[in-house]
Amino acid sequence: MPARSKARAMARPRRRPTAPARVATPPSKGRRVFMVTGGVTKFAKAHPAMDFRLMVKRAYDYALKGIPNLSADRIDGSRISYFSDHFARQLKAASMVQDYLGLNPKGSVRIEWGGATGGECFQAAYEAVASGRMDVCLAAGFETMSRVATWKGNEFIALASDTNFDFPLGGFYTGYYALMVVRHIYEYLRLRKFADVKDEREAQRLAIAEGSRIMSLVSVKNHVNALHNPYAQYPKRLTVEDVLRSEMISYPLTREQICTMSDGAAVAVLCDAERAKEFTDRPVRIIGVGTGTDTMRLADRPFGKVPLLPHERSRDYEDLPYPGVHSFRAGRAAGIEAYRHAGITNPIRELDFLELHDAYASSEIQTYEDLGLCRYGEGYSFVERGDPFLKGIDYGFPVPRAGKIPVNPSGGLIACGHPVGATGLMQGVFAFWQLQETIGKHFGDPTLQLSKPKRGAIHSHAGTGSSVTVSILERGFP
Amino acid sequence: MKARPPTFTKFREVQAELDRSGAALFRDADGVESLVIRYPYSIQYIHSYAEDTPFFLGLAEGRLRGSKCRRVKCGFVYATPRGHCMVCGSPTEWVDLPDHGRLHSWTTCHFGSEAFLKETPYNLGLVEFSGVGSLLLVRLKDAVESDLFVGMPVEARFSPNPTYSITDVWFVPSR
């Protein structure tokens, strides 16, 4: 018996597979929707001099300033997002934002969807325009996480896990993500790269050390990219050793592999084709939207078949129980819907960059696979080859294929921060500036500007992968 | 009576002052001052386990119970019980789970949310059972980080003094 299948037989009893997940949402048939402007406040540990209304107002004023003929009276309504009433300690905080911006009595809805709150808000504004209900819709989001101490904040976040079965065990999201990456490492490093090591514990230790090293490369990438992003909370030059030596939070995840809590706000203005033409000669079109979901509890993720992307074959994954806890079926489902809507058949060829929800360095690697940037199991080698790195930046180690498909050119959540209700919109704004080729203007530093990017994706992720959004943006001008 | 609380330029110092006196001024780089106060907030929730009740009563009796889909053609068995089957939507029935399983995955938490900080470090494990289609998240005891591995045989232990919480059961390495 070869080592690999022997290890499998030992660790995985036979279980009844569920039916393959069917992802059959038809592509949107709505009107064409464009993004015409956006704004972000600098994300920070705390903004004591600004409450949530003023943060949103600053981002909103910045966005409107860019377009002379876009004033509040042209906006038909809003979608406003924040994640947690616990952090806000102010119910109907979205009403107070609408009020402060002077948008009453126009229509507005509060959006909440865990960590994917911002991404969902972006899509809610998309839907308002695509459906024809509005011609111009404001998407605005914020979070004020500095209002409690860090470990209390972790408790609030952990209330987004099942309070009967999961929360009372320790209530800790980093713990949940650690459980997922330990299994991911087992599936793809222990059973593959270290298949020949006979001693099971030794093989698993080697695999975890290797996985930790590669996760650290992702952390270095995102922190170093952020050195050129003035909006980022934690830009810094780090080495792999710095990341590995930082405090152990939940084995094997260290502090530098995890995003932090932040205060911040972001806004995006979406509109129909006619208005877009009027507002700007550099509009960006939203060509695909997708969402996916999965069980709230990690423990309930079934073992079935992989829903395939167009460029994959079922024989790629014959032996892979899916999703288990090693992959995000919600991310896969969101990707399938968004790609189909956008007409994308091979994401790595047809996307120029991604802003990806890297709450953990581990989940960035897991998500490469879910979104088909590489096959399941290839996430670690994808990082080592350098595919998600930017060309022309010194990371302190070789990145041979840098620029293949930059992921988190802005620095992502790990380096920019994660004020939950704003995060997905921040990604939208950074992607918008990339596609407009205005990064130099907004960042005061052109280093992160990609050369003529045509298409990018933003990815917003909630819970332990219980809901995910993917939106695809395309340059809408010649 | 002092008219103004003390002023700080670091938010950390503001937080420390709040613990001392309940109010502080924060002055940012532009000289803008913000008054920051402490605002206590505590809640006792009245939490019903509702349809999950037999699971928690079972733990108090030293029984680990899962649920099984009643539809014969489905029959999915859940280690973490649920009232209705997520595959076919049929009602489930209670079944006893084996008290031996294997680690599907694990971690050691060196931090946790505020309520659990004093218990760190603690181990979490996802346990898989033969013939059962889903997993159970539990605390792992009598083992340190370097003992644990995927596939490790583990077995259930029950609290003699139940608190009617998922922590009434934990798993230890099988001997």
Number of H helices, E strands in chain A: 17, 13
Distance in angstroms (rounded) separating the CA atoms of residues A7 and A21:
27
A201 touches chain B (CB under 8 A): yes
Decide the pairing of beta strands A253-254 and A248-250: antiparallel
- Contact across the interface for A170 and B116, Cβ inside 8 Å: yes
CB A460 within 8 A of CB A114: no
Considering only alpha carbons, which residue of chain A is nearest residue B77?
A16
B164 touches chain A (CB under 8 A): no
**Which 3 state secondary structure label does DSSP give A265?**
strand
Decide the pairing of beta strands B23-27 and B7-8: parallel
B169 touches chain A (CB under 8 A): no
The C-alpha of B33 sits at a distance from chain A's nearest C-alpha, in angstroms, of 7
Provide mean pLDDT across the span A372-376: 98
Tens place of pLDDT for every residue, chain B, 175 residues?
A: 568 999 999 988 999 999 999 999 999 999 999 999 999 888 899 999 999 999 999 999 999 999 999 999 999 999 999 999 999 999 999 999 999 999 999 999 999 999 999 999 999 999 999 999 999 999 999 999 999 999 999 999 999 999 999 999 999 999 8
Residues 6+ apart with CB under 8 A from A189: A207, A208, A210, A211, A380
Residue A11 scores a pLDDT above 50: no
What chain A holds in terms of domains, given with CATH numbers, is 33-152+267-275 (3.40.47.10), 158-258+288-475 (3.40.47.10)
- Contact across the interface for B131 and A45, Cβ inside 8 Å: no
> Higher confidence at residue A408 or residue A171?
A408
CB A285 within 8 A of CB A277: no
Residue A6 scores a pLDDT above 60: no
Closest CA to A147 of B41, B117, B111: B41
Range with lowest mean pLDDT among A24-33, A373-382, A443-452, B54-63:
A24-33
B173 touches chain A (CB under 8 A): no
Residue A27 scores a pLDDT above 70: no
- Contact across the interface for A251 and B110, Cβ inside 8 Å: yes
Per-residue pLDDT at A331: 98
Decide the pairing of beta strands B153-158 and B122-128: unpaired
Q: Taking a contact as any Cβ pair under 8 Å apart, which residues of chain B between 46 and 85 contact chain A?
A: 47, 49, 52, 75-80, 82
Distance in angstroms (rounded) separating the CA atoms of residues A91 and A110:
11
How crowded is residue B129: how many other Cβ atoms within 10 Å of its Cβ?
22
- To test the contact with chain B by mutation, choose from A8, A169, A183, A190 the residue with the greatest count of B C-beta atoms within 10 A, namely A169
CA–centroid distance for B139 within its chain: 9
Tokens for B148, please give them. 């644990």
Provide mean pLDDT across the span A5-27: 49
Closest CA to A308 of A343, A342, A346: A346
Distance in angstroms (rounded) separating the CA atoms of residues A285 and A219:
30
- Domain residue spans in chain B? 7-37, 50-173
Which chain A residues contact residue B75 at CB under 8 A? 16
Strand partners of residue A272: A33
Which chain B residues contact residue A302 at CB under 8 A? 86-87, 133-134
- Contact across the interface for A250 and B108, Cβ inside 8 Å: yes
B32 touches chain A (CB under 8 A): yes
Which chain A residues contact residue B79 at CB under 8 A? 299
Average pLDDT, chain A: 94
Provide mean pLDDT across the span A192-198: 96
B109 touches chain A (CB under 8 A): yes
- Contact across the interface for B116 and A171, Cβ inside 8 Å: yes
For residue B109, give the nearest of A49, A180, A250 by CB distance: A250
Residue A460 scores a pLDDT above 80: yes
- Contact across the interface for A250 and B111, Cβ inside 8 Å: yes
Distance in angstroms (rounded) separating the CA atoms of residues A212 and A240:
9
Closest CA to A328 of A148, A172, A174, A462: A462
Provide mean pLDDT across the span A372-385: 98
- Contact across the interface for B111 and A89, Cβ inside 8 Å: no
Q: Alpha-carbon Rg of chain A, whole angstroms?
A: 21
Residues 6+ apart with CB under 8 A from B175: none
Per-residue pLDDT at A24: 53
Tokens for B145, please give them. 């980080």
How crowded is residue A49: how many other Cβ atoms within 10 Å of its Cβ?
15
Residue A325 scores a pLDDT above 90: yes
> Higher confidence at residue B42 or residue A108?
A108
For residue B76, give the nearest of A16, A172, A190 by CB distance: A16
Which chain A residues contact residue B28 at CB under 8 A? 48-49
Residue A14: pLDDT band (50, 70, 90) is very low
Provide mean pLDDT across the span A371-375: 98
Residue A472: pLDDT band (50, 70, 90) is very high
Tokens for B14, please give them. 């503001």
Per-residue pLDDT at B175: 84
- The per-residue DSSP string of A298-322 comes to GGG--EEPPPPPTT--GGGGTT--E
Range with lowest mean pLDDT among A43-47, A205-209, A392-396:
A43-47
Residue A17: pLDDT band (50, 70, 90) is very low
Strand partners of residue B154: B101, B173
CB A232 within 8 A of CB A439: no
Considering only alpha carbons, which residue of chain B is nearest residue A252?
B107
B106 touches chain A (CB under 8 A): yes
Provide mean pLDDT across the span A10-39: 67
For residue B86, give the nearest of A249, A300, A324 by CB distance: A300
Distance in angstroms (rounded) separating the CA atoms of residues A469 and A452:
25
Report how many Cβ contacts below 8 Å link chain A to chain B.
174
- Contact across the interface for A299 and B137, Cβ inside 8 Å: yes
Per-residue pLDDT at A320: 93
CB A332 within 8 A of CB A370: yes
- The per-residue DSSP string of chain B comes to --SS--EESSHHHHHHHHHHTSEEEEE-TT--EEEEE------------GGGHHHHHHHHTT--EEEEES-TTT--EESS--SB-TTT--BEEEEEPPSEEEEEEEEEESS--GGGGGG-SEEEEEEE-TT-SS-EEEEE-S--GGG--TT-EEEEEE-SS--SSGGGEEEEE--
- Contact across the interface for A204 and B150, Cβ inside 8 Å: yes
Residue A298 scores a pLDDT above 50: yes
- Contact across the interface for B34 and A163, Cβ inside 8 Å: no
Closest CA to A331 of A217, A158, A471, A233: A471
Range with lowest mean pLDDT among A24-38, A55-69, A78-92:
A24-38
How crowded is residue B160: how many other Cβ atoms within 10 Å of its Cβ?
8
Provide mean pLDDT across the span A198-211: 97
Considering only alpha carbons, which residue of chain B is nearest residue A172?
B112
DSSP A48: T
